[in-house]
A = this chain, B = another copy of it.
Amino acid sequence: MLTYDNNQPMYKQVIDDIKKRIVNGDFSHNPQFPSTRELAIAYGINPNTAARVYKELELQHICYSKKGVGTFLMNNLKLEEDLKRTMADNLLNSFLSNMSDLGFSKDEIIEEIKKED
């Protein structure tokens, strides 16, 4: 769900959510994304903000837009896989770097994760 008190702007939160949906295969059978107006309603945001989401995703080569037609998942067989890999790597790198700065060794980090519910 979108949060307003977050330091992350709404359009980035929506982008992240869509990326996760792509990774989970939500668009593997139908590559067409909801229209900007539908997206706006679905997330409770302004149509302009929704358009910004797709524009940003287009810059990242994740989707492309045809004026008057719609917005589509990029035609790339490995896109879901690559996206998952890239996002996971980013999370891993920043997490491990920060934990290391706090003085955790790799073994300790793994211990911490195992302790979590």
Interface residues of A (CB under 8 A from B): 4-5, 7-9, 20, 23-24, 59, 64-67, 84, 87-88, 91-92, 95-96, 98-99, 101-104, 106, 109-110, 112-114, 116
Given contacts A87-B98, A95-B95, A106-B114, 4 further A-B contacts (CB under 8 A): A24-B103, A59-B59, A84-B103, A106-B113
Determine chain A's interface SS by DSSP, over half rule. helix
- Min CB gap A57→B, angstroms: 14
- Could you tell me if B102 and A5 are in contact, using CB atoms closer than 8 angstroms? no
- Could you tell me if B109 and A113 are in contact, using CB atoms closer than 8 angstroms? yes
Chain B residues contacting A99 (CB-CB under 8 Å) are 88, 91
- Could you tell me if B106 and A95 are in contact, using CB atoms closer than 8 angstroms? no
- Could you tell me if B88 and A113 are in contact, using CB atoms closer than 8 angstroms? no
- Could you tell me if A110 and B114 are in contact, using CB atoms closer than 8 angstroms? yes
Contact partner, A4, options B66, B102, B103, Cβ 8 Å: B66
With A96-B113, A110-B110, A110-B114 as contacts: A23 and B67 at CB distance below 8 Å: no
Return the chain B residue nearest A21 by Cβ: B101
Return the chain B residue nearest A5 by Cβ: B64
